[in-house]
Amino acid sequence: MKSIFDFYLDASIHVALAVISLTGVTFYLLGTTFDPLLLGFIFFGVIVCYNFVKYGVEAYKYLIVSNAYHKVIQIFSFLAFGFALYFLVQLDRKIWAAIAILTLLSALYAIPLLPKAKNLRNLGGFKIYIVALVWVGFTVLLPVIDTQTPLKWDIWILFLQRFIFVVVLILPFEIRDLQWDDKDLRTLPQVYGIKKTKRIGIVLTVIFFFLTFLRDGIYEYEVFLRCILSGIMILVFMSNKKIQSRYFVTFWVEAIPILWLGMFWAVEHYLL
C-alpha cells in the first residue's frame, strides 16, 4: 500500500487532482457546469508537465531513464500525454492559443530558451510567481475562455485571489525544501527566514479571504467556505515540525484544493 501511495504522489497524480479541483471550484464560482473535456486535458497535462519538470528537465534525461521506478513513471507519463492529446483535440480551438502559451511557459520553467541562459525556475526570486501564474492560467483563465465568461470586475478579483491562494500553497513546500534548494533561487524562506515566511503566508491568507468582499456578487456559503479554507491554511503555517515532513506537505497541503472542491459539492448537494 505504501508503494502504491508513493507512486500516487511521485507520479504527480495527487497534484493533478489538486489542479482540476481548483478548476472545478472556478466552474462553481462562474455558475456553470463542468466541462469534462477541459478537466480531462488539465488532469493528464499536469501529470506530463510535473513529471517532466521533476524527472527530465533535459530532453535526453526524460527519454533515457536507467532507474526502474522512474521508468514506470516515464511510461505512465507517456500514456498521460496520449490522453491529454485526446482531450485537447476535442476542445474548442478558441482555447488552444491560451493552452499553447501556458504550455510554453511551463516548458521554459524547466528548459532555458537559449543554450547558456537560465530557465525560469532558476531566475532568482521568480520561481514561486511563475508557478502561481501557470496554475492561475490553467485553473481560472481556461475555464473563463471555455465558458465564454466576460472579463468583468469579479473575474479579475478571482484571478488575484487564485494567484495569492497558489502562492500561499507553495510556501510550505519552499519551507520544507529550504535545506536542499540552491541559494540562487532566492526563495522567500531563503530571503526572510522560516518565521517571517510563515507570517507572510498568514497575511496573504487574510488578504485572500477579505478580497472576497470586493466582488459585486457574493454568496453567503462562499464566504463561509473561504473562511474555513483560510483557517486551515493559517493552521498549516502555525504548525512547526510537521511542515518539514514529506507527507504533510506533499499530501495534506496539496489536498487543500481537493477539500475546497469537496466543500462546494457538499453545500450544493446537501445544503442548497
**What digits encode the pLDDT tens for the residues 4-22?**
999 999 999 999 999 999 9
Q: Which of 24-28, 59-63, 100-104, 255-259 has the lowest mean pLDDT?
A: 59-63
User: Which DSSP category does 137 fall into?
Assistant: I
Q: Residue 17 has what pLDDT?
A: 97
Q: Is the pLDDT of residue 244 over 90?
A: no
Q: Residue 120 has what pLDDT?
A: 61
Q: Residue 69 has what pLDDT?
A: 83
The pLDDT of 144-167, averaged and rounded, is 95
Domain ranges of the chain: 2-271
Q: Residue 95 has what pLDDT?
A: 94
Instruction: Give me the sign of the Cα torsion angle 39, 108, 175, 69.
Output: positive
> Cβ neighbours of residue 6 under 8 Å, at least 6 residues apart?
none
The angle that helices 127-136 and 153-176 make with each other, rounded to 10 degrees, is 140
Q: Is the pLDDT of residue 36 over 70?
A: yes
CA distances to 55, 67, 176, 194, 211 from 64, in Å: 11, 10, 30, 38, 47
Q: Residue 144 has what pLDDT?
A: 96
Cell of 183: 541559494
Confidence of residue 113 (pLDDT cuts 50, 70, 90): low
Q: Residue 59 has what pLDDT?
A: 46
Q: Residue 202 has what pLDDT?
A: 96
Q: Which of 3-7, 12-16, 170-174, 218-222 has the lowest mean pLDDT?
A: 218-222
Confidence of residue 142 (pLDDT cuts 50, 70, 90): very high
Secondary structure of 148-196 as H, E, C letters: CCCCCHHHHHHHHHHHHHHHHHHHHHHHHHHHCCCHHHCCHHHHHCHHH
Q: What percent of the chain has pLDDT over 90?
A: 58
Mapping DSSP to helix (H, G, I), strand (E, B) and coil, where does residue 147 land? coil
